[in-house]
Structure 1
Amino acid sequence: MIAALAATLTLFAGAADAPKCYGAAARDTEKPCVSTTKRVTPTPDQAAITPNVACVRGDLADSCTYGSAEPVATVALLGDSHAAHWRAALQVLAQQRRWRVVEFARPHCPFSFSEPAPTEAGASDCVAFNQRVIEWLAANPSVATVFVSNNSRLPMAQRGISARVRGHLAAFAALPESVQRIFALRDTPTVRVTTPDCIRKALAARVAPGGACSIPRRRALVVDATTIAAERMSYRGGRVIDLSSFFCDRRECFPVVGGVLVHKDQDHLTQRFSATLGPYIGRALDQAG
């Protein structure tokens, strides 16, 4: 955990002097600590123009690789843009565990055999794209572990949670036998359109913005069909990693945690906060055996 956290803090310039309760660590129930900072890093304006962690483009459209320079294993990350915002977290794990991560994350294309609504860009090619990803996995049998995360609010052609679950189940079932572990990262909470302005006002008033700008949990978090499907695929190694407690308590979700801005927009993580979650994904993996 200490090595992973050190890797987290060196991902971004200026984070080396981060306080003990920095980012997700401020909500670690196993090692409680209290963050008293009223600062926010990055600011909403900085987050809006900060790109994702860099990666090397792969041989399949919308794929890229990152991680250890001397990997001992390769893992895959599948899904839409809500998979891509976990990149900094998996980069932390990859450096610690000597992984190469191959990411297949196409915006508006969840890892599913159900089509997104026609209003979503590239909707008609999403299922075919996921089939190409599955073919790549079959051709690379050394990849035994995949992580999956999808936008649980993305409009789909077939409405209803049952239809969403069926689409994910069909895609999971089509994974080659060489994939022995499927870890579904539960989708993250959202914030309001007005949240960045609320944070700016709180900073100007020298008020802690995490509590001042919180969002009711029932609004911020919705049912995630991907995790339901993963639970039903337990016989194929399906597991769920739910880090909601690092964003929310039982009633509210917080747009700033441990002095770190959680979202760069309404529903995508800042890479700085994502990085602080890396050690806790690792902890969940260890607990899952």
Structure 2
Amino acid sequence: MLSLRAPEAPATPRERTFLPEVQALRALAVLLVVVYHLWPNRLTGGYVGVDVFFVISGFLITSHLRREVERTGTLSLRAFYARRARRLLPAALLVLLVTALASGLLLPVSRWAATAGDVLASTFYVQNWALAGRAVDYSASQDAASVVQHYWSLSVEEQFYAGWPLLVLALVWLAGRTRSGRPLLLPGIAVVTAASLAWSVYWTATEPAAAYFQTPTRVWELGVGAVLALGLSGARAQALLASGPMVPVVLRWAGFAAIAVAAVTLSSASPFPGYLALLPVLGTAAVIAAGDTGPRDPSSRLVSLAPTQFVGDVSYAVYLWHWPLIVLAPFALARPLTTVDKLAVLAASLLLAWGTRQLVEQPAQQWRRLRRPLVVGVCTVVAMALVSGVAAWQYHRVDVAQAAARDELAAAQEDPCFGAGSLAPGATGCGDVFGPPASLVLPEDDAPWFRDPACRPTRGGPSDTDLGVKTCRFGTDAPTRRVALVGDSHAEHWRGAVHEIARQQGWELVEIFRGACPVTEARVLAFQGDGTDTEGCARWGGQVTDWLTSHDVDAVVTTSFTTAFTFAGEDSLEAGAQGFAATWTAWLDAGLEVDVLRDVPTTGLPHVPECLQAHPDDPRECSRPRDEAVVPDAATLAAERIAAPGLHLVDLTDYFCDETTCYTAIGGAVVYFDANHLTAQYSRSLAPFLFEELV
């Protein structure tokens, strides 16, 4: 039977220079992250491995800074930053360079610009802020995963390394200026840590998507490691061990258990970091605090195993390599990854990590010339410039491809058979309607959420009106009709068609959008299976109704990504239908005409342009059976039930599908910009057919 008895505590514990338990934590952390990325449905909370890394980094860096302060009374910032650069930058910049080059060879053109931007953000360690900005932008949330998005955690750490020694130096200086002369490191860092934790809890509850990536919501995790480094030094460590031989063993087992519980119980729907991050963070701190629990502790055998220590040694490089392999491998293989493929990715990550450590990391730390801060600085600038140059070259390639695409589309759009025109009743001579599109490259202005400089905000904005609704107005000062386009991003992707109609007919157009929120009295519980802002959507929906019924508007054109929502009630479909019906009835009672656009068919694809680029000669490979793409939805059900002359259901499904199949390339146009939003080119081609239905 395994024994949990610990050995007698040493009388005078000495600070160890090698910590096998920390290497074991690194191994556990990187394996959690990699397994989560390969099998997210199997280990739903594996992302907490990043939090384990944060605590370790805070502990080790602060331990080093504390020793230097105790030895010299101050810090050498130049030496500190040079050491960090030698340790972290060679491998990180190498992986960025290889990834940028491989992306240009393997990824479709549609992803070059985003990849180049992310490579630049990662090179200068601001990737976390780039992702935080996208997290609060619904349109950007539809983007495919970035090939270097895992650099967000490295960005947080580098920003921590940039500021932390300055904080330590400031606290040491202040302590020297006080009359008492008491050390301020521990209380000062504890205050910063507590403040960051409080902000993390608040911001996670307020803006959970952005909070995940932002530095202020994560500093406390590194701060816990820092407090541990200061609080368990010298006599404090001896006091812990003297408290009883079982204390370190219990701490270690409880710590590992906390990390494991977090990994298997949390998920992408969990509000994180916030207070939930306390579980893996305190678990990691407990393992580190326990220290060496001795040979009688069964966990010591696992911690000291050669494979455990090896994975801990290469954990940094494994983290760097695994994600680009996961993203790029499906493009190299031209198919989704199988279980065997995923195991191969895991093995390749370990092999590349070992090679990187042997050939890059260790030589960079041992090379004598790199011990001079000036040499480190010059090498860093040169390496960053090289990676930035590759990213700039990628941008140039994008510009060339997009210019060619705009020319091809301009010529193609002159043809009356372009896009939906090829499916018009009586259309003849249109050739292969569902054949290859005129251009597989989508220009930037083909995005469904384009910005029109003609926008006239109601209050210098886009504005917040007195009823809390952000609006944007287009059109003439003496319009023939005032029309509101209302809904989520699936209303927004009709802008191409509705703007074209408004220009031709002299309408004034008012736009009211909110991503992932339908305008309905039904309560939205989830969006595409994930939790959403239920209260915020409900509040916004009520404000939209208040605005529409109190302003001079003739008609409302509305739609939403209805099939993506889960509504509160025993029957989500029925609850949603009742909610839409109640909202539209209120609009009708206010004298508004209501035009409900049936939502576009679903594609079942993660990214349509990438599928089309993978099958350039036969876009039918990216089509979907009509009975799968067109399914019952709450909005259509509600519109069919309301027998009021002022409400009209507009169903343009036949401009996406024939009797059996729905297509992603029609009449030379690419229909979808991503998985479910229309391109501006196809939306504009629908204008004459939408106008016929609206009037």
Which residue in the other structure is 2:156 paired with?
A: none
Bigger Rg, which one: 2
Is 2:199 the counterpart of 1:199?
no
Which residue in the other structure is 2:670 paired with?
A: 261
Q: Name the stretch that deviates more: 48-57 or 268-277.
A: 48-57
SS at match of 2:686: helix
Q: Aligned to 1:82, which of 490, 497, 520?
A: 490
SS at match of 2:563: coil
Which residue in the other structure is 2:473 paired with?
A: 65
Q: Which runs of 5+ in 1 are unaligned?
A: 1-11
* Larger RCO (CA under 8 A, 6+ residues apart): 1
One-letter amino acid matched to 1:124? E
Q: Aligned to 1:91, which of 499, 504, 524?
A: 499
SS at match of 1:117: strand
Instruction: State the identity %.
Output: 29
SS at match of 2:648: strand
Contact persistence 1:108–1:116 (CA under 8 A): no
- CA 86–33 in structure 1, closer or farther in 2 if over 3 Å, else same: farther
Q: Which runs of 5+ in 2 are unaligned?
A: 1-404, 456-461
- CA 105–41 in structure 1, closer or farther in 2 if over 3 Å, else same: farther
Contact persistence 2:561–2:599 (CA under 8 A): yes
Q: CA deviation at 1:160?
A: 2.6
- More strand, by proportion: 1
**Partners of 1:75 and 1:49 in 2: CA distance:** 23
Is 2:451 the counterpart of 1:43?
no
1:222-233 counterparts in 2 under 5 A? Answer: 222-233=631-642
- CA 120–62 in structure 1, closer or farther in 2 if over 3 Å, else same: farther
Which residue in the other structure is 2:10 paired with?
A: none
Is 2:621 the counterpart of 1:212?
yes
- CA 45–72 in structure 1, closer or farther in 2 if over 3 Å, else same: closer
Which residue in the other structure is 1:23 paired with?
A: 419
Instruction: String of CA shifts for 1:226-283, please: whole Å, max 9, x gaps.
Output: 1222232332511111100010011100000111111111111111111111111111
One-letter amino acid matched to 1:184? V
- CA 285–213 in structure 1, closer or farther in 2 if over 3 Å, else same: same
Contact persistence 2:423–2:655 (CA under 8 A): yes
Q: CA deviation at 1:149?
A: 0.4
Contact persistence 2:448–2:496 (CA under 8 A): no
Q: CA deviation at 1:32?
A: 4.2
**Partners of 1:49 and 1:231 in 2: CA distance:** 33
Which residue in the other structure is 1:250 paired with?
A: 659
**Partners of 1:70 and 1:53 in 2: CA distance:** 25
One-letter amino acid matched to 1:27? L
- CA 175–257 in structure 1, closer or farther in 2 if over 3 Å, else same: same
Is 2:584 the counterpart of 1:167?
no
Q: Name the stretch that deviates more: 188-197 or 251-260.
A: 188-197
Which residue in the other structure is 2:559 paired with?
A: 149
Is 2:630 the counterpart of 1:221?
yes
- CA 212–154 in structure 1, closer or farther in 2 if over 3 Å, else same: closer
Which residue in the other structure is 1:277 paired with?
A: 686
Which residue in the other structure is 1:4 paired with?
A: none
SS at match of 1:100: strand
SS at match of 1:175: helix
Contact persistence 2:448–2:494 (CA under 8 A): no
Q: CA deviation at 1:68?
A: 4.6
Which residue in the other structure is 1:9 paired with?
A: none
Which residue in the other structure is 1:123 paired with?
A: 534
Contact persistence 2:563–2:634 (CA under 8 A): no
**Partners of 1:72 and 1:45 in 2: CA distance:** 34
Is 2:527 the counterpart of 1:114?
no
**Partners of 2:631 and 2:644 in 1: CA distance:** 26
SS at match of 1:153: helix
SS at match of 2:587: coil
Instruction: State the 4+ residue runs in structure 1 displaced beyond 6 angstroms.
Output: none
Contact persistence 1:67–1:91 (CA under 8 A): no
SS at match of 2:566: coil
Contact persistence 2:422–2:430 (CA under 8 A): yes
SS at match of 2:427: coil
Aligned residues: 270
Q: CA deviation at 1:225?
A: 1.8
**Partners of 1:194 and 1:126 in 2: CA distance:** 26
One-letter amino acid matched to 2:565? P
Instruction: String of CA shifts for 1:56-98, please: whole Å, max 9, x gaps.
Output: 3344444322345652221011211111111111001101111
Which residue in the other structure is 2:509 paired with?
A: 101
Instruction: String of CA shifts for 1:155-208, please: whole Å, max 9, x gaps.
Output: 3242431111011011112226343311110000122126434311332xxx24
Is 2:545 the counterpart of 1:134?
yes
One-letter amino acid matched to 2:418? Y
One-letter amino acid matched to 2:566? M
- CA 281–33 in structure 1, closer or farther in 2 if over 3 Å, else same: farther
SS at match of 1:53: coil
**Partners of 2:478 and 2:572 in 1: CA distance:** 44
Which residue in the other structure is 1:3 paired with?
A: none
One-letter amino acid matched to 1:21? C
One-letter amino acid matched to 1:123? T
**Partners of 1:252 and 1:265 in 2: CA distance:** 19
**Partners of 1:253 and 1:93 in 2: CA distance:** 25
